[in-house]
Amino acid sequence: MNKFIDHTYLSPQASAADIKRLCQEAIDHEFYAVCVPPYFVAKAKQALHDQPVKVATVIGYPYGYSETSIKVAEARRSLEEGADELDIVINISAVKSGDWNYVRTEIEQMATTVRLKGKVCKLILEMGVLTDEELGRLVDLCNKVRPDFVKTSSGTQGGATVDQVRFLRANLDSEIRIKASGGIRTRTSATELLEAGADRIGTSSALSIIQ
């Protein structure tokens, strides 16, 4: 279980001490990665410099409606500071407005920005607020752009469900991995999501899950 977990702390009250503790917990329990606010990427990288634990951060978090150029700049900065993986919130406002050219261009630019550095791109779809048609079109775009991961949600707009993960696994190309995130607080829940097809679990309750 531990190797599937992104040990996450994205509270707006997060402090340097919190991030230091998060990193030490990830080392002690051999979690796959920590997921921290962009402000703390360099600090997390320093704390984990000789460890196999990866550093992930979020871009456009939590609502995704920043202009693409702002997200690209944020991504580049995080990559320069040592981020190994970027969890990028797509522009749900553009999706809801039917601006699919904008959505596709943004997804392509974000994926390219991350790929150029040889790092991991995770696109957050915010599945809980999407219609079936919107979700279908986004999955089609992801199959064309081919991010490393598709992620169910930011955790602010509903949690991950087994049905969501099953849908993604049935409709995404097999090479695209799935990260389930949001409301995952028990080992049973995490296990069900992994069995449904998730490749990674994002949670702020990792210590409870592994007990």
Any idea which residues carry the catalytic annotation? 87, 151, 179
Dihedral Cα 49, 54, 55, 57, nearest 10 deg: 170
Contacts of 201 (CB under 8 A, 6+ apart): 4, 5, 6, 179, 180, 181, 184, 190, 193, 194, 209
The token duo for 156 is: 């602010």
SS3 55: strand
Contacts of 43 (CB under 8 A, 6+ apart): 16, 19, 20, 36
Q: Which of 146, 149, 94 is nearest to 120 (CA)?
A: 149
Residue 142: enclosing H or E segment and its boundaries? helix 132-145
Q: Are strands 33-36 and 177-181 parallel, antiparallel or unpaired?
A: unpaired
38, 116, 152, 182, 210 from 157: Cα distances, Å: 20, 30, 10, 8, 25
